[in-house]
Structure 1
Amino acid sequence: MQRVCFLLKVRADRLAEYRERHSAVWPGMLRALTEAGWHNYSLFLREDGLLVGYLETPDFAAAQAKMAATDVNARWQAEMAPFFEALDGAAPDEAVKPLTEVFHLA
C-alpha cells in the first residue's frame, strides 16, 4: 500500500468556503474516490492556506488515472480550481506532486 502526501495552497480569501465545500463533498465524488482505490484520504488545512493531503492506495498512478476518467472528478476539479494558488492552468488533482517519504513508524 502506497502512502501519498501532497501540498497545495488555498487562496486566503477562499479558506472559509473551501472548508464549507469539504463539509459536504458530493456523494458521487466520494464513491468515485473509493472505487478508484483512494483509502484513508484526509485533507488538513492550515490558517495560512497550506493544504496537506494524505491518502493510501495500492497504486497511486492507477488511482489518479481512474479518477481522471470520471465525469464527477472533472466537474469537482473545475469547481475547486479557483480556490487554489499557483496551479499554472492545471486542475488541482493534476498539480499534486507527492512528497518523498523519509520515515514511517509501522
Structure 2
Amino acid sequence: MQRMGSILGIKPEAIAEYKRLHAAVWPEVLDKIADCNIKNYSIFLREPENLLFAYFEYHGTDFAADSAKMAADPKTQEWWAINMPLQVPLATVKEGDWWATTEEVFHVD
C-alpha cells in the first residue's frame, strides 16, 4: 500500500459548488476509483488560502497504468470536465500534471 497526497487550488467563488458536487459524487466515478485500486480517498479544504488537499491509499502494483485507466474512463472524464474549471493548479505544478504531488515526511499508525 502506498499513501499519496496532492494539493490543488480552488477558485473562491467555486467552493460552494465544489462542496455540493462532492457531497454526491457519481456512483460511476466512485466505482472507477475503487477499480483503480484506490482506497481511503479524502479531499480536505483549507480556507482562506483556498487549497484542496487530497489523500488516498493506493493498493495496486502499477499506479501509472491504473491512473491511465481512470483517465480513459468516459464518466470520469465527464466528472473532471465539470470540476476542473472550479480548480486552479499551483504555479509550480509539473507540466502535464493538475494536482501537485507531495512528499510524505511523517507517518504513524
Length-normalised TM-score, structure 2: 0.84
SS of 2:103's equivalent? coil
Q: Distance in 2 between matches of 1:26 and 1:54?
A: 19
Higher strand fraction (1 or 2): 2
Alignment of 1:1-106 (within 5 A): 1-48=1-48, 49-58=50-59, 59-86=62-89, 94-106=97-109
For residues 46-85 of structure 1, what are the alpha-carbon distances to aligned partners after superposition, in whole Å with 9 as ceiling and x for unaligned?
Answer: 2222100000013432331220121111111111111012
Partners in 2 of 1:20 and 1:72 — Cα distance? 18
Give the paired residue count: 101
List alignment gaps of at least 5 residues for structure 1: 89-93
What percentage of residue pairs aligned between the two structures are identical?
A: 41
- TM-score of the two chains, using structure 1 as the length reference: 0.86
Structure 1's consecutive aligned runs of 4 or more residues displaced over 3 angstroms after TM superposition are none
Structure 2: which 5+ residue stretches go unaligned? 92-96
